[in-house]
Structure 1
């Protein structure tokens, strides 16, 4: 039996996506340059450009000059056709951007928050920032990605409340909260998951499908990619390493006992008084000086990384966060992985250090924005 041929609509969507992606990445291209970049035929490019111009997604700009052959016109994305919002909510407050299809940041807004923050205060700040960004946008908002410094149930978009959270008090429902603020359903995820996306697109994990990313800062978290797909768990709790078991030194005992990483940090005296946030500056200072408590914590992180590596079998372990990047932490994780039979994961420090969750949310927002005009077919019919 002969295999079914791809439908004409599918072929059109594929060619439109290739053309739109090429123009967006380059900023501006002629039709001839689009054909050369995409390897599509000139007639196919011409038909796709005609459709995208009619839809208002692309516009024709200035004419080319110089060179051989006939002069052409440059194609550029049309900001007025629609933009995306990328928003990050974390200890630094709420930060948001209006992003054009070619990656330009057209506007930015920020609201400070006192940590830990209540769900009500965070909700009001989120709504305020998103409302302001919507007004700033030259066109309708067609996609929104949101990074939150807590676990997220991806099925509902709700932020899951955990007792040891250093950031958020109470459960937050951003999807419901933003229903009357933006015209699209937000894609909500945990900040470390977005940071891993940024690292896989622009950092040390580029081209690596199986990655364990450990984030160690005021808060502690992890994100995982298996076979190129992110792992979230049934309720978004995958990666909550503050609750993972490791070695906890106890006063008066010769040997450490089993406990959570959060209990270990607390037992060693590195929790900020009255909160569940790590006292980062004091910990880094002790790591610099090789203080016993700090090196014990580094060893505990190494044990935790080894346990997760046996479970996930990653090709790469990425360390990020202010104390997660410290040489003693890197050495402890490298030693723990290297001393483990069968494990061959390499250990590296994250390269996308500045606003990594927002960078990841921006990357995802651009992908979502592109899909609103040119859906990406999952498979070619057979």
Structure 2
């Protein structure tokens, strides 16, 4: 336990003396000194060669210790239709290398696999100890392979990130859906909430007792086919609402985000209000179903059009009159939310792996 405390403290600080370690951990200096010696012999902690300014009335000279440079890194990866991003992170949580590879549309599995390999090698350095992958398609819980569902706009197919990344990682490879990772990035201290991603694609995640619920096959939260209220008050699938409003991309079920944002701010106020109300009612129907089945404390709305103030206001208005009303709020993580969630998980797993060494 002492060694773990010392290691985790050095993960939060770049360098510390034994006295500083003792103060940060609440462990006695002699006990910390023995721990530093053991960790040094194990190759996990090193003397940096730096010394405090001691002597001549300023106290004893202190030695600075730090994690060994070769203690290991982790890979955080985002696989999305616009491309692949790979980041190599160290035990301090710093991104030490980043590589990006574009993918043409439609995103064919062989093209995505090639981009994934190039991004993994592009981060350089020794092989990471593990990888955490965020994928834009649903992910089979048992196999980790990506699944193509009807009306999924990205067509990544049955790509298997495990097979692709195995030569580039020495340890485990964890793969999950991008919306689940975005929800994890929003988790903070909350234990029960729902997350809806509203962008080119539609997705949801349920966080219960602090954990993202994946379902038997990993398909929990796939909301595109959920029955809700259509623009004319009729029951319809959520994905079809955007077809009725003329907000899909050509020859695709993907939502045209630019056209949608233009529609809710149209010069004709009545037209803009009609679209906002239709979207608010449609998403509000999804919220009602989620609240009835999962009882979240609140619902987080993310995605490039989901976080727009007019959309949030419309959803809030539509849900306020529902029998079981819960608060609606915008996602706080808006810059690469899925990669952020994957990065946070990769850091936790890397630190745990180092401690267990």
TM-score by length of 1: 0.86
- What aligned pairs does 1:202-241 form with structure 2 within 5 A after superposition? 206-241=188-223
Task: Say whether 1:278 aligns with 2:266.
Answer: no
Match of 1:258 in 2: 235
Matches of 1:168 and 1:40, distance apart in 2: 54
| Cα distance change, pair 267–80 in 1 and its aligned pair in 2 (3 A) | same
Match of 1:71 in 2: 61
Contact (CA 8 Å) 2:137, 2:154: kept in 1 or not?
A: yes
Task: Say whether 1:364 aligns with 2:354.
Answer: no
Structure 2: 5+ residue stretches without partners: 267-271
Matches of 1:59 and 1:245, distance apart in 2: 59
- What aligned pairs does 1:52-201 form with structure 2 within 5 A after superposition? 52-61=39-48, 62-65=50-53, 69-133=59-123, 136-137=124-125, 139-200=126-187
Q: Return the structure number with greater relative CO, CA threshold 8 A, min gap 6.
A: 1
Q: Deviations over 1:330-356 (max 9, x none)?
A: 12332344323344x322111111111
Match of 2:20 in 1: 33
Match of 2:275 in 1: 293
Matches of 1:108 and 1:211, distance apart in 2: 31
Matches of 2:10 and 2:89, distance apart in 1: 16
Match of 1:7 in 2: none
TM-score by length of 2: 0.91
Contact (CA 8 Å) 2:146, 2:156: kept in 1 or not?
A: no
Contact (CA 8 Å) 1:287, 1:295: kept in 2 or not?
A: no
Q: Deviations over 1:12-64 (max 9, x none)?
A: xx333322221111222222222222223334433332232223222222112
Which range moves more in the overlay, 33-42 or 352-361? 33-42
Matches of 2:328 and 2:33, distance apart in 1: 47
Structure 1: 5+ residue stretches without partners: 1-13, 201-205, 250-254, 377-382
CA shift, 1:241, in A, is 1.2
| Cα distance change, pair 47–261 in 1 and its aligned pair in 2 (3 A) | farther
Match of 1:324 in 2: 306
Matches of 2:141 and 2:35, distance apart in 1: 34
Which range moves more in the overlay, 141-150 or 288-297? 288-297
Matches of 1:314 and 1:65, distance apart in 2: 54
Match of 1:349 in 2: 330
| Cα distance change, pair 242–81 in 1 and its aligned pair in 2 (3 A) | same
